[in-house]
Structures are given as structure tokens and as C-alpha cells.
Chain A
Amino acid sequence: MGSAFSDWALFEGPIYMGANTSWEVIWTLVAAACCICALVVGSRHELDAYKRMKNGR
């Protein structure tokens, strides 16, 4: 992802990596996808647990 500057003393404004590039959107989407993925996996496990209880296992 890199940086375009070589001396911190001259730098002002946003310093995070990927600033003002499409990486901001990409990482936001990745983070959102992590949340959705975890929720789907967690929900599946929860429903399986209820089914097991219903079946007396």
C-alpha cells in the first residue's frame, strides 16, 4: 500500500495507509464482509444447536 512521502516532519493531514485511494472503500467492504460472515456462521451454529436440543441430542 506504501506511502508517497519520505519525511514525517513535512507531512500534514491523513496519515493512514491507503488515504485518498480506493483502499479506504476496499477495507471497509472487507470489514463489513467479516461481520456478515461471522453472523452467518454464528446463526447457523445457533440454529443447529436448537435443532439438536429439539431432537433430544
Chain B
Amino acid sequence: MEEQLAELAAKIAELEAAASVTNTMFAETYYYLTIPLMIIIHAGFLAYEMGASRLKNVLASGVKNILAFAFVVPTFYFFGWWVYWAFPTGITFSAGPNGISGWAYANEIALPWVEYMGPNIADNASGVFWGAFTLFAATTASIMSGAVIERIQVAGFVILAIVLGSFAWVVAAAWGWHADGWLVTQWGVHDFGAAGLVHAVAGFFALGVLINLGPRIGKFNADGSANHIGAHNLPFTVTGLMLIIVGFWGFLMACLIVPGEAWSWFGDKFATIYGTPITLSALSFNILMGFAGGIIGAWMVTRDPFWMMSGGLAGIIACASGLDIYWPPLAFAMGFAGGALLKPCAAFLEKRGIDDAVGAVTVHGTIGLFGLIMLGIWGSGYPALQGEGVPTISLIGQIVGAVVFFLLGFVPGYVVSLILKGFGLLRVGEEAEIAGLDTAKVPVAAYPEGIGASAHPAE
């Protein structure tokens, strides 16, 4: 009998070990696959930006976009990942209530020279988590990239991309997208899909840069009225937007914490980054409904395919904060409102002399904050994170989050671009801008057999 029991216990231990390995492999593969999905976002931004550029600037816009991605990856490795783990409790750098933050914790797990930051057969999590967060970081830089096309210097732009992608949004994430983040633990800020801390931060960072960068030559007339500077290839831009939306599935998938690992919130169900329960089904319902609502809302107001696809993006962003808890028709209505708001909000900025070439400030900034704040109405009273006696989602809390995210985007964008402007590193020379940046600095041609020259808007 004892022998049989021992045999049974050994068999159970063997099965448990096998199940544990399977779960670990699943968890690692899950996050690993979000990375190429999110790279599709960058394929989309690349197409979007190049299509939105005039013929004379196509490749220069592409070079800038690709470099943003390339520079954010190593800088996020050097210090961005450390910032995420060190900053949650604010500038005290102390450990938070869950013990997964603070100076000492960040030094232990996220400095470039510690054992978790490289190949390590005892660690199946750090690399894939870092990879997913790196892609979030690169997304913020790409959001800013589209707004500033056709007149920004590459070196200045890369510095801005690093400040945004490897610092500004990371601080926002540490404060509002981390179980120890002070915005979460003190104010109950809930931003599941990063409408505020990724989209709004990047959008308003772009606004700060645009103020110092100034409009493209020919965008505004002497009386302040605006000229339309058309995309050289709108189908390419619209397809790029659709690719961004494909990649969003990876982005939002990476916002989940899988179950069953030592670092998981639950043994049996997915959780948000705040430790609240969620299912992939919730995402399927609400992403699709928000996306559809955004397209329809933008179509109703503009009937312009550029704004319709931007509306699809805005629709997802509008309900991103509450994708985990929205009733799908509410997600649709939020998306619809986001899509319908786009064009009037973009026109508001243009009237104030802001030349946002692709509407990034509106799509990501304005709609991001709109979605974040509206969750404070619809989701009021829900516990904002895991645990007993935790703060609940509230309108006040979401507004506080919105103000903080706005400042974390706008202030560094404005200040750093002002410094770059002072050093002559922000704007390209007037002659180069008029002749075209491809002619000025790119050694190859986008369309060597020609498809017609760019028209100057004033002509």
C-alpha cells in the first residue's frame, strides 16, 4: 500500500512538473508573439507616414520613422526598463505596497548588467516582458513621428523619440500602469489599454514639439488660413492605418498578465496589469465594437477615408481604458463618439496654427484623454486594482490621471524641443524643406521612374 501511495505521489509530482512547464512555455510564448504583432504597428506607422508625406519627402519620413524604433530599443534597454520599476511610488523611489518597485528592486532586476537582462535559462519572463514594453515604448515614438514629418531634423527627432519612448511615457506607466503606481494606489486611476499613459502622453508630447517646430512652409497663409497639404499616396496611408489596428491586437494582448506563474495575479484566469480579472473574450468584444464605432462616427462626420481609418484607431483608443469592463455596445458608443470628435478637434488645432500632419495630437492625445476621463463616469465604483480596501475608479481620479499624463507628455516635449531649437537641431533648413528632404539627404529615390512632382500648396 505504502509503495503504491509513493508511486502515486511521484506520478502526481511528475504531472505537476509537466503542467508547470507547459504553463511557463505558454506564458513565454504568449508575450513573445505579442512582439511581432506589435511590430506590425510600426509597419503601419511607416506606411502611414510615408503615404502622408509629399513625394519629395517620402523616404526622409521613412528614415526618421525607422530610426525612432531603432533608437528606442537600446535606450529602453539601457534605462527605460529601469525607470518603469524604479519610479512607481514617485520621486521617493521607495518600494510600493506590492514590493515590486523602487530603487533597490529596479537595481536588482532591470539594470543592463544584471542576470535577468540577458539569456538565462532560469528566467522565462524578463526578456519577453521587456520586449513587449519596448514595443509599447517604440509605439509612443511613432505616434509623435507622424505629426512632425517634412520639416524636422533627424538627430533632433531621435533625441525627442528617446526622451518620449524611453523616459516620459515610462514614468507615466510607472505611476499609472503598475500595481504600485501612486496614481493607482492613491487615486484609483484605471487605464487598462493605455489610452492616457501611452496615447495621450505621446499625443501631447507631439503638441509640445509642434509648437516649437512650427508649420510646414506653405501650410498657412499670411491671414492665418490653412492650406491642405495632401498625402502623396492616400491608399498607402489608409492601409498603414489598418496595419496599426492589426498590431493593436498584440498591443492590447500584451496588457494582460497570464495566469499560473509565480508572478501571476491568479492561478486560473487572466488579469490586467492592476491585477483585476479579465478575459481575452472581453478584448475581442470591445476592440471590435470600438473600432467599428470609430469608423462609423468618423464616416458620418467626414466621409473621408483618412479620417475614417483614423476614426477606427480613435474608436479603440476611446474605449481602451475600460476594455476590460465595458459592455460592448457602450464600447461602440464610445468609439463612435471618438470617431465623430476627430475632425472638429483637428480643425480646432489647425485654427490655432498647429500643423499636425497626420492628426496625431487629436487621435492619440485628445481622444486618449477623452477615453480616460469617460471611464471615470462609466466605471465609477469599480475597484481599481486587486486587493481589499483598494481605491475605486472615480471621475476625480481619472481627471487627476488625465492632468498628470497631459503634463508628462506636453512639458518634456515642449522643453526638450525648445532646447533643440536653441541649438539649431530641430528644424531643417528652408532651402532643403522647399527642395524636398529626399533630394537633400537621402541617397536613393522613392520612385526613380517618377510619378509626378510634388505641388507646393501655395501654387
Contacts and interface: CB of A to CB of B under 8 A. Distances in A.
Interface stretch (B41-49, B157-165, B324-332, B404-412): B324-332
A6 B327 contact: no
B167 interface: no
A45 interface: yes
B336 to A, nearest CB: 5
Nearest to B274: A8
Contact of A45 (B303, B328, B390): B303
Contacts of B275: 8
A15 B327 contact: no
B299 A38 contact: yes
A29 B344 CA distance: 26
A30 B277 contact: no
- A-B pairs, 3 with minimum CB distance: A2-B381, A31-B329, A38-B300
Nearest to A41: B300
B332 A31 contact: yes
Q: What interface size band does chain B fall in?
A: 35 or more
Interface of B: 275-277, 282, 289, 293, 296-297, 299-300, 303, 322, 324-330, 332-333, 336, 377-383, 386-390, 392
Nearest to B389: A6
Nearest to A23: B327
B378 A17 contact: yes
A1 interface: yes
Contact of A17 (B276, B297, B325, B388): B325
Nearest to A7: B388
A6 B297 contact: no
Instruction: Find the residue from A5, A6, A30, A31 having the highest chain B CB count within 10 A.
Output: A31
B251 to A, nearest CB: 21
A3 B377 CA distance: 12
B120 to A, nearest CB: 32
Contacts of A23: 327, 330
In this complex, the interface size class of chain A, counting residues with CB under 8 Å from chain B, is 20 to 34
A16 B380 CA distance: 12
Given A9-B386, A15-B325, A34-B293, A2 B380 contact: yes
A28 B332 CA distance: 9
Nearest to A35: B296
25 contacts: A1-B377, A1-B378, A1-B379, A2-B380, A2-B381, A3-B379, A3-B381, A6-B388, A7-B383, A8-B277, A9-B388, A11-B277, A15-B325, A16-B325, A16-B328, A17-B326, A23-B330, A30-B330, A31-B332, A34-B336, A35-B296, A37-B300, A38-B296, A38-B297, A42-B299
A9 B444 CA distance: 59
A31 B300 contact: no
Interface of A: 1-3, 5-9, 11, 15-19, 23-24, 27-28, 30-32, 34-35, 37-38, 41-42, 45
Contact of B333 (A3, A5, A17, A34): A34
A32 B333 CA distance: 9
Given A15-B277, A17-B378, A31-B333, A5 B327 contact: no
A11 B383 CA distance: 11
A8 B386 contact: yes
Contacts of B289: 31
B329 A28 contact: yes
B333 A27 contact: yes
A10 to B, nearest CB: 9
Given A6-B388, A8-B277, A35-B296, A27 B380 contact: no
B325 A34 contact: no
A17 to B, nearest CB: 6
A31 B380 CA distance: 21
Given A3-B382, A17-B379, A35-B296, A42 B325 contact: no
A41 B336 CA distance: 14
Given A2-B381, A8-B276, 13 more contacts: A3-B382, A6-B389, A8-B386, A9-B388, A17-B326, A17-B327, A17-B379, A27-B333, A30-B330, A31-B293, A34-B333, A35-B296, A38-B300
Nearest to B277: A8
Given A31-B329, A42-B300, A8 B379 contact: no
A17 B300 contact: no
Given A1-B379, A17-B378, A34-B332, A27 B300 contact: no
A4 to B, nearest CB: 8
A24 B333 contact: no
Nearest to B303: A45
Contacts of A37: 300
Contacts of B330: 17-18, 23, 27, 30-31
